[in-house]
Structure 1
Amino acid sequence: MFDLKEIFSVTLILFSVIDILGSIPIIINLRKKVGHIQSGKATFAAGLLMILFLIVGKSILGLFGIGVEDFAIAGALIIFALGAEMILGIELFKPDPEASTTSASIVPIAFPLIAGAGTLTTILTLKSEYTQMNIGVGIVINLGIVYLVLKSTTWLEQKLGKTGLDVLRRIFGIILLSIAIKIFKTALSTGESIL
């Protein structure tokens, strides 16, 4: 049964974990490398991952003998590398000249930026408190927001300017490093689901 209070809570929790607004500098940076981000494909791929994880997440990880905390650590390492790249102005994720914009839209935008370890482990954790249907609605609402932000990056880049983007990129780089370290520490010390 649909519950507006549950849907609102799930939407807010996922919005804060996905942090699409905080990812704007990373998305703009990636778009400069690959030329174009396919917003629809990135959103669809992220949505597919989230819905799949909602339905069979623990079972999929269990098939490979991977715990939620192992998955979180792997995602944290990727997020750490992205943060380091933003702060230090280095290039760790080199664009493949033969790669299509579709693959660039899916990795690293759909995963791990949108549907990263934090998002996927949060979805698993939400299942203990909320109904699967309401979590699904919360995911769809967040995907709508993600799509709008991805579509608006060119406009946002024009409004912010080069200096504004440089400052934002470094600030969010530090935030990404902090998130990565928090996920890493939590996964190592407790082995519990990460919110």
Structure 2
Amino acid sequence: MQLNFKEIFTAFMVLFAVIDIVGNIPIIIDLRKKVGHIQSEKASIVAGIILVFFLFLGKSILNLIGIDVNSFAVAGSFILFFIALEMILGITLYKHEELSAETATIFPLAFPLIAGPGSLTTLLSLRAEFKTENIIVAVFLNVIVIFIVLKTSTKIERIIGQNGINIIRKVFGVVLLAIAVKLFAHNIQALFNIN
């Protein structure tokens, strides 16, 4: 097993941008107000398990329904593209479900807010390009960041402020947009065997 720090850093940044835990702080605070308490450890661990599970079994599930990783990665690049547009333009394309008080830590926080369609698609897209061990390290690092953000979400909002959160979202939106274009270009070439 050989870890590649460039791959780990890139995979970490892609997942960090897609999960957008900092941009989700207002949703987390709203959730905390509604249900009183969020179990940060449980939410982080469950999200991490879902991500790693999908990293390993996602390809088998796709094979079962007859879809190759490159096709899925191209589809994933479209999802990333639209998530990036949401972040940059401040629009909502993805409709959030109503929040449930009883199971708020697992649903909607761990899934689909953290380990949602965007991050799961991204994992398979990354797997088409990077080594699995590097992606696992990137997932683990993201889980740590998620835990820290969940624990300190109220403080972060006070320090950064709403404008700061909006700026961070837009910056990561542009990064994500560039990644989506790169992912699309790389996998469309593999799909049609263009040299």
Note closer, same or farther for the CA distance 1:85–1:118 as it changes in structure 2 (3 Å cut).
closer
**2: CA distance between counterparts of 1:6 and 1:184?**
25
**2: CA distance between counterparts of 1:158 and 1:82?**
26
**2: CA distance between counterparts of 1:13 and 1:173?**
15
Give TM-score scaled by structure 1 length. Answer: 0.69
Q: Unaligned stretches of 5+ in structure 2?
A: 33-37
Whether the 8 Å CA contact 1:40–1:147 is kept in 2: the answer is: yes
- 1:95 — aligned with what? 96
- 1:179 — aligned with what? 179
Q: Which aligned pairs between 1:36-185 and structure 2 lie closer than 5 A? A: 36=32, 39-97=40-98, 99=100, 101=104, 102-105=106-109, 106-112=111-117, 115-123=119-127, 125-127=130-132, 139-185=139-185
Give TM-score scaled by structure 2 length. Answer: 0.69
The question of 1:16 aligning with 2:16 is answered no
CA drift at 1:84: 1.7
Task: Pick from 28, 32, 57 the counterpart of residue 31 of structure 1.
Answer: 28
Q: Unaligned stretches of 5+ in structure 1?
A: none
**2: CA distance between counterparts of 1:145 and 1:7?**
20
**1: CA distance between counterparts of 2:184 and 2:12?**
21
Q: What do the CA deviations read for 1:134-167 (whole angstroms, capped 9, x no partner)? A: 8756654543333223333332221111222222
Q: What do the CA deviations read for 1:143-193 (whole angstroms, capped 9, x no partner)? A: 33332233333322211112222222222222222222222222222249x
Q: What do the CA deviations read for 1:18-52 (whole angstroms, capped 9, x no partner)? A: 226982443225436x6347644543343223332
Note closer, same or farther for the CA distance 1:142–1:162 as it changes in structure 2 (3 Å cut).
closer
Is the partner of 1:166 in helix, strand or coil? helix
Whether the 8 Å CA contact 2:81–2:180 is kept in 1: the answer is: yes
Q: Tell me which amino acid in the other structure corresponds to 1:15.
A: F
CA drift at 1:65: 0.9
**1: CA distance between counterparts of 2:40 and 2:77?**
24
Whether the 8 Å CA contact 1:21–1:149 is kept in 2: the answer is: no
Whether the 8 Å CA contact 2:17–2:172 is kept in 1: the answer is: no
Q: Tell me which amino acid in the other structure corresponds to 1:107.
A: P
Note closer, same or farther for the CA distance 1:12–1:178 as it changes in structure 2 (3 Å cut).
closer
Q: What do the CA deviations read for 1:94-153 (whole angstroms, capped 9, x no partner)? A: 33336564433211421245x4333334346414xx6xxx87566545433332233333
RMSD over aligned Cα atoms: 3.5
